[in-house]
Amino acid sequence: MRLCDLATSIKSANAGATLITMDVAFSDPNRFEAVAAGGALNPDAVARLYLVDPAQVQIHHYRPSSTIKVTIPRRVPSGGVEERDFDGVQQYIPLLYLEVPWE
């Protein structure tokens, strides 16, 4: 199953000039726990999707709101000449199609 089929909301934004952060929110705590414990949303998988070093991928599970936060480095700084998404709001799209084992 794809992450977008399990999550209620997936969004991205700037986290400073050199980072992008993405929030994956779940309305069902059981789905959150299954994705958090299942390991499909891990630094290696995110690094493959975004072509970044897995050591630079941060993933935090925030149980009170059933949300997973993923932070990655930007390829170019926000506002740079080569920037194509100044606010970082379009960067969540590859996460939508991440395959998550689901029973």
- The per-residue pLDDT string of the chain (103 residues; one tens digit each, 9 = 90 and over) reads 999 999 999 999 999 889 999 999 999 999 999 999 988 999 999 999 999 999 999 999 999 999 999 999 998 777 777 777 777 888 899 999 999 988 7
Positive or negative, the Cα torsion across 25, 73, 91, 36?
A: negative
The residue range of the domain holding 26 is: 3-96
pLDDT the model gives residue 62: 97
CATH number (domain holding residue 87): 3.30.980
- Helix, strand, or coil (residue 34): helix
- b/e per residue 12-27 (b: at least 16 CB within 10 A): bebbeeebbbbbbbbe
Give the pTM: 0.90
- The kind and range of the H/E element at 19 are strand 19-25
pLDDT the model gives residue 54: 97
pLDDT the model gives residue 4: 96
Q: Which token pair is 45? A: 């998988």
Q: Give the span between the Cα atoms of 16 and 35, in whole angstroms.
A: 27
Domain assignment present for 102: no
Structural domains in the chain (count): 1
Domain assignment present for 103: no
Domain assignment present for 54: yes
